[in-house]
Structure 1
Amino acid sequence: MKKYMCLLCGYIYDEELGWPEDGIAPGTLWQEVPEDWLCPECGASKADFVMVAV
C-alpha cells in the first residue's frame, strides 16, 4: 500500500490505515478517496498531496 503526503502541512495519508473518521475505510486506495476530501489537519485539497516513499 502507498502513502501520500500533504504538501502544506506534512500529514500522511496511509492507504493501509485509511481515515475512518471521514468514512474512508482501511485499505482504501488513494484513487478511490473522493475528490472533495480535504486534509484532516489543514484542509488542503486532495490535489495538494504527493506520493511518498516511506
Structure 2
Amino acid sequence: MKEEIHMEKYVCVVCGWVYDEAVEGVKFEDQPADYVCPICGVGKDQFEKM
C-alpha cells in the first residue's frame, strides 16, 4: 500500500504569496533558515500555515 504524504501550504503574511509544498517539491520546514519570499523578500518567520 502506498503511503500518503500530507503536503501543507503556507502563506506570506506580508504579500499573500502561497508556498505550496506539493508544487515546490520541498517541505517548508526543510527550507534553509535564510529562505525568503520570492515576491516580497521577507523571511520564513513571516509565513503562516494555512
- Give the shorter-chain TM-score range: 0.7 to 0.9
Question: Which of 18, 35, 38 is 2:36 aligned to?
Answer: 38
Root mean square deviation, CA, Å: 0.6
Q: Percent identity?
A: 39
Structure 2: distance between partners of 1:39 and 1:31: 14
Please, which runs of 5 or more residues in structure 1 have no aligned partner? 19-25
Give the count of matched residue pairs: 44
- The structure number with the bigger radius of gyration is 2
Q: Which runs of 4+ in 1 moved over 4 A?
A: none
The normalised TM-score by structure 1 is 0.78
Q: Distance in 1 between matches of 2:38 and 2:28?
A: 15
Listed as ranges, the gaps of 5+ residues in structure 2 are: 1-6
